[in-house]
Amino acid sequence: MQTTRTVLVTGGNRGIGFAIAAEFLAQGHRVAVTARSGDGPTGSMTVRADVTDADSIDAAFTSVEAELGPVEVLVANAGITRDTLLLRMSEDDFTSVIDTNLSGAFRVVKRASKGMLKARFGRIVLVSSVVGLLGSAGQVNYSASKSGLVGLARSLTRELGSRNITANVVAPGFVETEMTAVLPAEQQAEYLKSIPAGRYATPEEVARVVVWLASDDASYISGAVIPVDGGLGMGH
């Protein structure tokens, strides 16, 4: 029997975030999602927030705390890509991806940690990517932001670990969502060749790992990077 928690997932209106919110709901937790547009799955509370704006994050947490209680589980999932080769990458392409994927995670983690420290309990899961560890041509901005999450989670583990707060990273490979649907067919086929599993992941396959990392069963796991990539990164 798992303890029922209050969960907040950023970017829970579609893709992997939506699947994560749905899986937490299916396991009986109280779930809120942040969204800039649209809504989370039926049964979740949707709050408007942009992870590049600390005030909107603060307001979102305050509403969730009032409705569902302090956030015990935080999933930092919101992310964007702006792929292009280094010589064509503008400063804005680089900083906007870092601002959303890495600084955005920092902002939500910082806000969530207040309640977690008070409660002496917290589960933080950061959604990274296999390319944060392997690198990826055309994704200098994105892979830098995603590997930054590993340092973030490991430093959180050292700083907050003694307060019963864990911080882990999930590193998905290629997942079928709107983010990957826009890639040219040839590029998708090229990726497929390098995946030992011979197929892409579904958002639900990532969601189940995230929910498990936040569960009572994973209470002694922290600072870990868990790949969900069909073998693409060979355990990295």
Q: How far is the CB of 217 from ligand NDP (least distance, A)?
A: 23
**What angle in degrees, to the nearest 10, is found between the helix axes of 140-160 and 91-98?**
30
Q: Quick one: which of 166, 174, 213, 233 contacts ligand NDP (CB under 6 A)?
A: 174
Q: Does 94 bind ligand NDP (CB under 6 A)?
A: no
| Window of 21-29, 40-48, 59-67, 171-179 that interacts with ligand NDP by CB under 6 A | 171-179
Distance CA 195, CA 133 (A): 15
Number of H-type helices and E-type strands within the chain: 9, 7
Residues contacting 117, CB < 8 A, separation 6+: 160, 163, 165
Among the listed residues 142, 191, 200, 220, the single catalytic one is 142
Q: Quick one: which of 2, 3, 28, 36 contacts ligand NDP (CB under 6 A)?
A: 36
| Window of 11-19, 83-91, 107-115, 158-166 that interacts with ligand NDP by CB under 6 A | 11-19
Residues contacting 232, CB < 8 A, separation 6+: 130, 134, 173, 174, 194, 195, 196
Q: How far is the CB of 182 from ligand NDP (least distance, A)?
A: 9
Q: Does 11 bind ligand NDP (CB under 6 A)?
A: yes
SS3 201: strand
Name the residue nearer to ligand NDP (CB basis): 34 or 222: 34
Q: Does 15 bind ligand NDP (CB under 6 A)?
A: yes
Q: How far is the CB of 108 from ligand NDP (least distance, A)?
A: 9
Q: Is the dihedral of CA 90, 136, 189, 227 positive or negative?
A: negative
Q: Quick one: which of 40, 41, 79, 230 contacts ligand NDP (CB under 6 A)?
A: 79
Known catalytic residue at 200: no
Q: Quick one: which of 8, 25, 32, 35 contacts ligand NDP (CB under 6 A)?
A: 35
Distance CA 107, CA 98 (A): 12
Q: Which two tokens stand for residue 50?
A: 């942009």
Q: 40 forms bridges with which residues in the sheet?
A: none
Q: Quick one: which of 26, 89, 144, 179 contacts ligand NDP (CB under 6 A)?
A: 179
SS3 215: coil
- Positions that interact with ligand NDP (CB under 6 A): 10-11, 13-17, 34-37, 50-52, 77-80, 100, 127, 129, 172, 174-175, 177-180
Which are the catalytic amino acids? 142
